[in-house]
Each structure stands twice: as structure tokens, then as C-alpha cells.
Structure 1
């Protein structure tokens, strides 16, 4: 345990030096090289771990009508375990997380390649520093493919709503980084901005490479505010005779500039992937000294599993 806390203190101490630099621009062209990094400590009852959770480089271009994104990620490249499972692991294999290009028409945007599926809200916040908490809701892992390799069209309607349609009819590009090993995926999403909140609803169908097919549907809202923000998503997935569901509600209290208190409660059941039903409550705190830096801590409490404590430090440049 002493080694773990010493490592955590080192992470916190080094973050006080300003590590952030502007993305590297290539000459006068709107092409940039950036990236992100996060480190975390996961403290459970019997096992603790200190990890470089993710590290990635991004090369992207932003022209008036078109652009591209290429992202190369290392997922948990180093983990040190303490307690019952003392030891360490190293994973230095990189993955192509995103590789896509897009073009803006007057009333539509077309994207092709590998991209985060346009489903709900949380799935479109793929970088730790952009999210409210270190942990993700189970919602984004069990209902639909997080990534799609194919083509996507966003249609901008006259009333301001957005209809997104996507199609995959091939194997994943570097499918090891996706949550499902798929070769087919059809999805749609409808986005509507009401006076009260931004709403998104959608659904889709996908086929895993073992030929098992799933249907899913989801709905959610995002209500930002100066003092309080609210986010909620719910959905289900059907595979053969099995059905799983997930629903969560999250509230964020922006009680001081750069300081947030977060609460989230989630209920889920996933018999398809042999995840037992559970209810998960979370209380967290996030400090953002800069928009591209975040220190987070949270306590995760479960009905049927042991609680855990998470700390993380993340930056994006």
C-alpha cells in the first residue's frame, strides 16, 4: 500500500507543473497534433491498483467544409496492483480508436471511417477529461457498439432538429478496441432541443461475428445549467430471448467556479453478457483548474458488490 500512495502523491505533485501546451499546428494549415493522458488509482477492499489509464495521440484537420480525425490510443499501458493481487502489467500495443473524414454540405454532414457511434450523450464524450466522473455508466458498455466502422450522415432539419443515420457492413477497423466484436451495425438517432433540455432518442441493430444479432433502443436528456446540470439515459437490448436494460440519472452541482459535486444512480441488468442485476450509486468531486485538466475523486457504492474509491488526473493537449 505504501508504494501505491507514494505513486499517487507523485501523480498529484507533478500535475502542479503546467504540462499543457497548445496542439502542435503544421505550418499555416489547420492540421494539428494533440493528445490526452490520464492516470488513476482504484482502491477496493482487497485489491488496489495504480494505472496509466489511457494515453493517446490525435492528428486532426479542420477545414471550412471538411476535416479528418486519426487517433492512436494505448489502453491501460501500465498497471501496478497491490493487496491480494500484487504485481504489474504492461500493455504497449496501440489501437486505432478513430480514423475518419467528414464533409459538410449545406444541410447535412457525411462521415466515413471509424468513429464513435452517435448514440446518446455519454458515448460521445470519449476522453476522460471531458467527462464528469472517472468511471463510465454501465449504459455505454452493454447496450450498443461504442464504435462504428462505416458511414454516417447527419441531416439538419428545418426546425433545428438533427437526424443521424449510420451503417456498418464490414468488420471493425481494429475491432479489439470496441466493446462488441461486430461486422454489421445499423443505427439512427433523433436530436431535439426543447425549452427545457436537449433530447436524444434512437435505436439500432447489430450483428456480432459469432452471428448473434441484437436490437436496442435508447432515450436521454441533457439539461445544463449555471448552478445545476442534469443528465439521464435509459435503454434496452434484446438478443434472442434475453433482454438487458440500463437507466441512470446524474446531477452535477457547480458550487464554485472550476469545482463540481456529482451524484449518479444507475440500475442495470445484463443477462446477455452474464452481468448480474445491480444498483450503483456514485458520489464524486471534480476540480478543473484549466478546461483541459481535471482532478477527480469518487466513491462507488453497489447493492451486490463491494464499494470502491477512485482518483484520477487527466489532461488534454
Structure 2
């Protein structure tokens, strides 16, 4: 365990020890400008070849309001912090913390606001939930991890369209290196897009995104994304899909298509059953998979999540079971 992690963890513990009327999941207010929080998640994975236990995510956050027009958030995270292969006893992991988010918000009006820095790419539903404890399953759909940069170092102009009630927009762009290139799924220095989401009723919403990015190996990808969500507290249905066309440095073009449909049923406030179907096809890499997932979620408290799932893959060697415990402080 590195000195860096011990220092961060000590700061968090000290902050919590001095907190008054602390409520789990809401962080600690140190003063009117600074709040701190943290979260972690553990995962047990069993597949055809190995059983592995992981302390998967460890993160520390700081956030607050400087004045009514400006707020900020900073988050440092270590992914794959510690792992142990229970089959052969091998241990591994990385204690290095990376910058996942570091941004400021300038709040102008309901119609026009500016976010600048490193942020979650404002596309779809799944990608905008970066913390494991807030997600419905332990795993992420391939749609949200392989086809567009999930993080953005740049600017996001956002707000509601005045002429259309309930229509929110995000106009975002990046024309530089990522703030932490070791911590991004697709390295790029060019990423632009527009995302729209419309609230049709208290239960229904839908949206779409278009964008383009150029990777560090000169792969130019243009994509079109669409999704819809229904949530009446007991039932939640989510559907997202993305079509991408990529131009490669060797002159070849290729298409990729991915999406998922997920249903979640709450048979009590704490317990939920989840089913998801995923499809992924990338003609350039010739990787195709159909995935069916059946999962269960238990939340004794909203900031505490215990989840389990089993995945059936059309690539049968990739079938696996996942169990996770996540806590937001």
C-alpha cells in the first residue's frame, strides 16, 4: 500500500471523525465551500478458468459551491486496487490514483451553463452514472465502454432549450490531450458531440447523440446514439444503442453496432431483479457477442449496494458470475 493512498485515506477518515450529524452517502461538509466523500467497491468473479476477488474501485472526492454561480468537483480513483486469484493464489493490483473528474461549473441560467475540465461524457443514461454503487448491475454494457470515450477533457455547454419544454442539450468538445491519459478507455485529442434528452412525462424520457473523435493512432470515428428510459419506481426499462463508422489509417472503413435492453423490477424498496440483453458487433476486429444477464440487487440503504449476476455469452468461454459490494460515504 503506497504512501499516497495512506495519505488520502487518512484525510477522509479524519474528515469523517470530525463530522457532525453525518449521513451515509452524503459526504462530509468541512466548511461552506468544501465537502469530501469517498466510495469503494469489491467484486468476486467466477468464470471457467479462475475465481478472483478484487478491491476494484477506491475513490476520494471533493466538491462544493464557491458562490451561486460557480461550483466544482474533483475525484481521484484507483481501479483494480488489489486482486487475488483464489484459484492459484496470485496477487496483483495497482495502488495508483488517477484523475477521473476535475471540473468547474458556471451556472448562468436554466438555458445556458458551462462545465470545463475533465468530466463524464454526457451521452446516454448508463455512462452518466460513473459510481458503481449507483448502477443496477456489477458489470457495464459493452456499448458504454468500447465505442466512445467515456471521459472528456474539454468543455460542455448545457441547459434546457427555451422553445421546447423538457428538452435538455449538451454541446461538448475536446481539442487537446486528456488530463490523465492513463485513465481513459479511448485515448484521443479530438472529440466533439451534441446530446439531447427530452422528458416526455414523469416516467418516460428519451434522447439521442451524435459525435466524432480521432484517436491517438489516427482512427476517426463518427457515431449516432439513441436511447429511452421508463421509470415508475417499481419498473425501470432502459434501451440504448449506438452505431459507429470508423476510418482507419490504413484506408479501411468499418462499422460497429452495439446496444442493450434492460428491465428492472423492484419487488420491494430494497430488492430488485434485473434482466439485460446486450449485442456487440465490430467489423474491424471481427468481435461479436450476444450477452444475456440475470441479476439481483439488494440495497439495505441507498448508498450501500450488494449485487449478483450471471452472464451467458455467445462466446461461451466468457460466461461468468459476478458479485459485488459497493459503499458510498
Does TM, normalized by the shorter one, top 0.5? Answer: yes
Of 260, 285, 296, 1:248 maps to 260
Of 235, 258, 268, 2:270 maps to 258
For structure 1, list consecutive stretches of 5 or more residues without a partner in the other structure.
1-18
Are 2:191 and 1:192 aligned?
A: no
Matched residue, 2:116 = 112
**Residues 49 and 115 (structure 1 numbering): CA distance in 2 closer, same or farther, change over 3 Å?**
same
For structure 2, list consecutive stretches of 5 or more residues without a partner in the other structure.
1-22, 248-252
Of 64, 72, 77, 1:61 maps to 64
| Pairs aligned (count) | 297
Question: Following TM superposition, by how much is the alpha carbon of 1:54 offset from its aligned partner in structure 2, in angstroms?
Answer: 0.3
Q: Secondary structure at the match of 1:256?
A: coil
Q: Secondary structure at the match of 2:144?
A: helix
Q: CA RMSD in A?
A: 1.6
CA distance in 1, matches of 2:245, 2:316: 25
CA distance in 2, matches of 1:305, 1:176: 31
Question: Following TM superposition, by how much is the alpha carbon of 1:24 offset from its aligned partner in structure 2, in angstroms?
Answer: 1.9
Summarize the alignment of residues 295-306 of structure 1 with structure 2, pairs less than 5 Å apart: 295-306=306-317
**Residues 239 and 290 (structure 1 numbering): CA distance in 2 closer, same or farther, change over 3 Å?**
same
TM-superposition CA deviations, 1:237-281 (whole Å, max 9, x none)? 111211111011000000112110000001111234x36111000
TM-superposition CA deviations, 1:196-247 (whole Å, max 9, x none)? 6111101100011112111111000111113211011001111121111101
* Aligned 8 A contact 2:166 2:200 in 1: no
Scaled by the length of structure 2, what TM-score is found? 0.87
Of 283, 297, 312, 1:286 maps to 297
CA distance in 2, matches of 1:167, 1:278: 31
Of 155, 161, 166, 1:160 maps to 166
Matched residue, 1:79 = 83
Of 143, 149, 154, 1:145 maps to 149
Question: Following TM superposition, by how much is the alpha carbon of 1:86 offset from its aligned partner in structure 2, in angstroms?
Answer: 4.1
Q: Secondary structure at the match of 1:141?
A: helix
CA distance in 2, matches of 1:66, 1:80: 43
Matched residue, 1:25 = 29
Matched residue, 2:94 = 91
* Aligned 8 A contact 2:112 2:159 in 1: yes
Scaled by the length of structure 1, what TM-score is found? 0.90
- Aligned structure 1 segments of 4 or more residues deviating by more than 3 angstroms: 19-22
Are 2:323 and 1:315 aligned?
A: no
